[in-house]
Structure 1
């Protein structure tokens, strides 16, 4: 969904919830098919893992937004994305890329990749973390995003077992 700052959180959360539900249903179907076709189901397993990576990337924004709201960090309409001096702009796109990379590195059996991803993100955001509430937004958002990606990678990994 296009990230329109004028669109209320409620609308974005509803669309994200629908997309999340559809992705989880596809993952469950893929996992069941992979289990049923054990010896010859490698293509189904790979497809399920690809869907897991995409689901982690696409659906994580709602989870991150909920965690930020629970932590008292302003979201969407409150975060002034249209202001050039606003802290941590572009988080939705960065989160999409972060969740993709985390889920992929875990499914490729390279957990050290998560450390590399977090180090690069931390270095890139370091100068911005002094703004009010920026460090809290960074920590909560990153933690929620990585945990979300790891959960979907776990589902994809279970399909291969």
Structure 2
């Protein structure tokens, strides 16, 4: 594959990962908040009275960076880097999740939706770049 085409695949995969993941994760979180076991809508997500959205400030941009990192790691053929992303995100959010236990469900649902999407896009891009799946 020539260099220009490879660059287009990489840029395209990163763009699809970010934009598609943004839409998908938002939709999944909206659906999850409507489920019967989602709790009440009183907004009392923690000791300060903040709801999960307020407790997890910056989640949209963290999600964008997370998807870029996960997709980029797969495009680069270094899937082990995904463990670093998970560790950094978990450690970075621990203080907020500890203070606002009600926000942990939103954190897990959003993270899983985002990472599944980013992984699927990254794997697809990696295959387009000529990667192969090893079967035994």
Measured against the shorter chain, the TM-score band is 0.7 to 0.9
Equivalent in the alignment of 1:26? none
Deviation at 1:125, TM superposition (A): 0.2
Deviation at 1:93, TM superposition (A): 0.6
Kindly report structure 1 stretches of 4+ aligned residues shifted beyond 6 Å.
Answer: none
Equivalent in the alignment of 2:111? 142
Does structure 2 retain, via aligned residues, the 8 Å contact 1:49–1:159?
no
Partners of 1:67 and 1:44 in 2: how far apart?
33
Give the alignment's TM-score, normalised by structure 1. Answer: 0.64
Any gaps of 5 or more consecutive residues in structure 1? 1-39, 80-84
Partners of 1:88 and 1:129 in 2: how far apart?
8
Structure scoring higher RCO (CA < 8 A, sep ≥ 6) equals 2
Equivalent in the alignment of 1:105? 73
Does structure 2 retain, via aligned residues, the 8 Å contact 1:99–1:145?
yes
Give the alignment's TM-score, normalised by structure 2. Answer: 0.75
Any gaps of 5 or more consecutive residues in structure 2? 44-49, 131-136
Equivalent in the alignment of 2:120? 151
Partners of 1:106 and 1:155 in 2: how far apart?
9
Deviation at 1:132, TM superposition (A): 4.5
Matched, 1:68 2:36: no
